[in-house]
Amino acid sequence: MIWTVMQTSWRRLKNNRSELFLTFIVPIVFFSIFAVIFGSRDSASSTPKIKIAISDTSGAALSERAVKLLEEQKSLRISENGRSNGAIKEGASGASTVSRSAAEDLVRRGMVSAAIVFEKSELADSANGLPKIEIMTDSFDQVASQVLAAIVQKAVMTANGELLKEKSDKFVQANAPTPANASMVKSSLPMNLVRTADFDANAGSSGASSPSLSQPPKIDVVDVIGGKKTNPVVAMYAAGIAVMFLLFSATTASGSLLEERENSTLDRLLCSRLTMDQLLLGKWAYLTVIGSIQMTLMFTWGAIVFGIDLLNHLDGFVALTLVTAGAAASFALMLAALCTSRMQLGWVSTIVILSMSALGGSMVPRYLMSETIQKAGLLTFNAWALDGYNKLFWRELPLADLKLELAVLLGCGFLFIVAARLFAVRWERS
Amino acid sequence: MTLSSISIPQSKPEASAVDTPALAVVDLWKSYGSNQALKGTSFVLNQGERLALLGPNGAGKTTLIRSMCGRVRPDRGQVFLLGKSIRDPDVLLQMGVIPQDLAIYADLTAKQNLECFGQLHGLRSRKLRERVAWALKWIGLEDRAHELTKGFSGGMKRRVNIACGVLHRPRILLLDEPTVGVDPQSRQRIFDMLDELNEEGTSIVLTTHHLDEAETRSDRIVIVDHGKVVAEGTIDHLIESTIGTQRQVTIQASGLLVAAPPGLEWDSEKGRFVCWVDNVADELPGILERIQKVGGVVLDLEVHQPNLHDVFLHLTGKELRE
């Protein structure tokens, strides 16, 4: 009996190609997609780099040398943003730095993950020419700030070492009459204990202040965005989860179109005054409204329970939610019009939505992905929606700063609904 | 071929008063790849007429029905509704379509379904309320108007399915197997409903697999096979023009019959004698006498009146359900 049950179940599975595909092929497809998204660390070009801005107003030789070293770091990418509006200035070393306020603005807008600021110190260190070092971070990228602190520390220490070496060379050359003597003097100096003031007095340097470091430099890390937030992670993930579930619910609801086709209701509908244009627009409007309500409920819950600041960003939220829900509705209808049955829609939408969500950052923040995958993520409208919500709730930018995201989502929505209409032509008259 | 070029058959005396056919299918051709579904199909439905459309499976009925309601674009030929081409956007509203599938929303109540399809056919406010109330009464589901249709019996769902197609008072009603899968009582109820509509002037095209329905519930019959109309007319006309009106007499006899009695043939399949007669009362005594004369004793006798089933089998070589 048990054998008969097993045999019958296997035969049923074997006769159902869709189920067979879902059981054995889809897991491999998913594995491959996720392996590509999160596992592509094989080449240097695809390794994620930390995008930063540098502000150096200290005028210290140490910071100038450190900036140069930072620019040579392969794990960093110095932002070119602001070059066009003159915010970036070429330093003496040729390095591109911006003003402190410009650097902070770049962090706030999400153009960079962090900014390194070198300023003249008003404390005792300034007497030794040591600049005040500050890293302005965006805790949206929780990895970058920690990695960057270590990199900056290393750069400053290395720069200090290089400067000390140069000064010691000059000192020795100035005080030793013969090269052999100079070499002997130099080798006898305990470098880590040398006071730079001694060198400064004799080196006759070009006026740049000289640093003094016997211990790792003090680096202030300031979270310029998330610092004041009570629960910064919630704002980040609310959008990701909301957009993913918006897509799932819209796709499920759009399956009614296929159900209507399967049971001849579509024939009956199209024999009435209703046209295919009206049918699709009616379903699109319904899905958009339902999606907007779904997003509103989710963010309202987030505001009440987790402290998301919804009230102060209501205009941006309404605009972004409407275009996101509209784009999701169009996308869902496009998938439905593309498929031939509800079952097919079920597995196609599962694969597509989970892949889009992974790529677009609904599951894992995009900054953790490789450069290539981050760029590929921009092909999904999830990424644009998430960027929009992050700008709104995380960076607290006004509605005017969401123009790009709104335009992209509107464009996506329009393209998807046009595609849905074109696919639906086959249902109008065969 | 144009509308004016096709002849309009008459099945009802009163139909002659109306010149324009309710529905005219003129030389329809349609192919799907190498499969030629329709090969020049033509027929008309007169105003106020009930027409049964019969054909074996694969004969092209579904394509024909979908062409009639504008859901299939024929390669050639036209369909006219009340003299106007169905390409005219308003003319289709004169037609009510009842698909074979239950084309209603199972997760809406009976009343909500009726309201939905009423609105889609242009009914609003008071008119809509009146028509929905009428429909609920007509299908006998007033007391269950607020229940979800997914909980209804097959017959009840069929009635809601039909009501959704007639709310807007169509002048032509197209029904694709409206009684499939329902019990005899529900079938009777559905045909009573359709008769009511017909009495009010609605012209009806009905496809069915029940030959008795076609015989008793239609004024005229159109038989389609291989994408063409192979016969059309009243049941009497079809019988007369195909197998003739003679009754078939089948006789089982015993005894020492050395030869077949004169005028009778031996049907080896049935193991009986067979003959055809024009008048049973006049000719049957003579037949029995001839059998007795050759030493036979009649054990059983059957007189069969030609019917639609015989016509259908004669024309298509298939049973209706084949």
Using the Cα atoms of residue B121, residue B124, residue B127 and residue B133 in order, give the sign of their dihedral: positive
Question: Would strands A96-98 and A88-90 be described as parallel, antiparallel, or unpaired?
Answer: antiparallel
Minimal Cα distance from B122: which residue of A?
A273
Burial class (CB in 10 A: 0-12, 13-18, 19+), B243: middle
Give the residue from B120, B157, B169 with the most A CB atoms within 10 Å of its CB, the best one to mutate.
B120
User: Which residue in A265, A270, A273 is closest to B71 by CB distance?
Assistant: A270
- Amino acid letter, residue A142: Q
Give the residue from A258, A267, A277 with the most B CB atoms within 10 Å of its CB, the best one to mutate.
A267
What pLDDT, on a 0 to 100 scale, did the predictor assign at position A415? 96
pLDDT reading at B42 higher than 60: yes
Task: Verify whether the Cβ–Cβ distance A272 to B121 is below 8 Å.
Answer: yes
User: Which residue in A269, A429, A430 is closest to B120 by CB distance?
Assistant: A269
Cβ contact B29:B38 at 8 Å: yes
B192 contact partners, CB below 8 Å, separation of at least 6: none
Give the residue from A273, A274, A428 with the most B CB atoms within 10 Å of its CB, the best one to mutate.
A273
Task: Verify whether the Cβ–Cβ distance A429 to B95 is below 8 Å.
Answer: no
At B3-23, the pLDDT tens digits run: 555 555 555 544 444 578 899
At A129-153, the pLDDT tens digits run: 678 888 888 877 777 777 888 888 8
Using the Cα atoms of residue B46, residue B47, residue B49 and residue B53 in order, give the sign of their dihedral: positive
pLDDT reading at B112 higher than 80: yes
Q: What is the CATH number of domain A46-226?
A: 3.40.1710
Better-predicted residue by pLDDT, A123 or B49? B49
Residues B3-106+169-186+200-241, CATH architecture: 3-Layer(aba) Sandwich (3.40)
Q: How far apart are CA B253 and CA B248, in angstroms?
A: 16
What pLDDT, on a 0 to 100 scale, did the predictor assign at position A288? 95
Task: Verify whether the Cβ–Cβ distance B97 to A268 is below 8 Å.
Answer: yes
Interface membership of A222 toward B (CB under 8 Å): no
* Bridge partner residues of B95 (DSSP): B172
Q: How far apart are CA A222 and CA B73, in angstroms?
A: 69
- For B222-236, what is the mean pLDDT? 88
Angle between helices B184-199 and B154-166 (to 10 degrees): 10
Task: Verify whether the Cβ–Cβ distance B71 to A263 is below 8 Å.
Answer: no
Size of interface A-B (CB pairs under 8 A): 50
A contacts of B66 (beta carbons < 8 Å): 267, 430
Distance from CA of A258 to the nearest CA of B (A): 13
Cβ contact B262:B296 at 8 Å: no
Q: Starting at the earlier edge strand, list the strands of the sheet with B172-176.
A: B95-98, B172-176, B203-207, B50-54, B220-225, B228-233
Task: Verify whether the Cβ–Cβ distance A271 to B100 is below 8 Å.
Answer: no
- DSSP one-letter string for A276-319: HHHHHHHHHHHHHHHHHHHHHHHHHHHHHHH----GGGHHHHHH
Give the residue from B93, B97, B114, B116 with the most A CB atoms within 10 Å of its CB, the best one to mutate.
B97
**B3-106+169-186+200-241 matches B246-305 in fold:** no
Q: Cα angle at A239 between A233 and A245, to 5 degrees?
A: 125
Question: Would strands B228-233 and B84-85 be described as parallel, antiparallel, or unpaired?
Answer: unpaired
Minimal Cα distance from B168: which residue of A?
A272
B16 contact partners, CB below 8 Å, separation of at least 6: B10
Distance from CA of B41 to the nearest CA of A (A): 18
* Total residues belonging to chain B: 322
What pLDDT, on a 0 to 100 scale, did the predictor assign at position B269? 80
CATH topology of domain B246-305: Alpha-Beta Plaits (3.30.70)
Task: Verify whether the Cβ–Cβ distance A263 to B122 is below 8 Å.
Answer: no
A contacts of B105 (beta carbons < 8 Å): 265
The token pair at B318 is 């298939």
Better-predicted residue by pLDDT, A27 or B167? B167
Minimal Cα distance from B176: which residue of A?
A264
What pLDDT, on a 0 to 100 scale, did the predictor assign at position B198? 92
Q: Where are the domains of chain B?
A: 3-106+169-186+200-241, 246-305
The token pair at B22 is 């309710």
A contacts of B122 (beta carbons < 8 Å): 272-273
Interface membership of A14 toward B (CB under 8 Å): no
Minimal Cα distance from B75: which residue of A?
A430
A contacts of B104 (beta carbons < 8 Å): 265
Distance from CA of B92 to the nearest CA of A (A): 7
What pLDDT, on a 0 to 100 scale, did the predictor assign at position A418? 96
Residue A402: CB atoms within 10 A of its CB come to 21
Q: Reduce the DSSP state of residue B218 to 3 states and report it.
A: coil
Task: Verify whether the Cβ–Cβ distance B164 to A264 is below 8 Å.
Answer: no
What pLDDT, on a 0 to 100 scale, did the predictor assign at position A182? 53
Q: How far apart are CA B271 and CA B275, in angstroms?
A: 13
The token pair at A4 is 């008969």
What pLDDT, on a 0 to 100 scale, did the predictor assign at position B16? 45
- H or E element, residue B274: strand B272-277
Residue A186: CB atoms within 10 A of its CB come to 16
Write the ipTM: 0.79
Distance from CA of B307 to the nearest CA of A (A): 33
Average pLDDT, 10 consecutive residues per value, chain A (430 residues):
84 82 81 72 59 83 84 79 46 62 83 85 58 82 79 86 81 66 53 41 42 68 71 72 89 90 88 90 94 92 87 93 95 93 87 88 79 84 89 86 94 96 84
Q: Where are the domains of chain A?
A: 46-226, 229-428
What pLDDT, on a 0 to 100 scale, did the predictor assign at position A128? 56
Burial class (CB in 10 A: 0-12, 13-18, 19+), A400: exposed
What pLDDT, on a 0 to 100 scale, did the predictor assign at position B246? 83
Task: Verify whether the Cβ–Cβ distance A268 to B102 is below 8 Å.
Answer: no
At B262-321, the pLDDT tens digits run: 778 888 787 888 888 888 888 888 888 888 887 788 888 888 888 888 888 887 776 655
A105 contact partners, CB below 8 Å, separation of at least 6: none
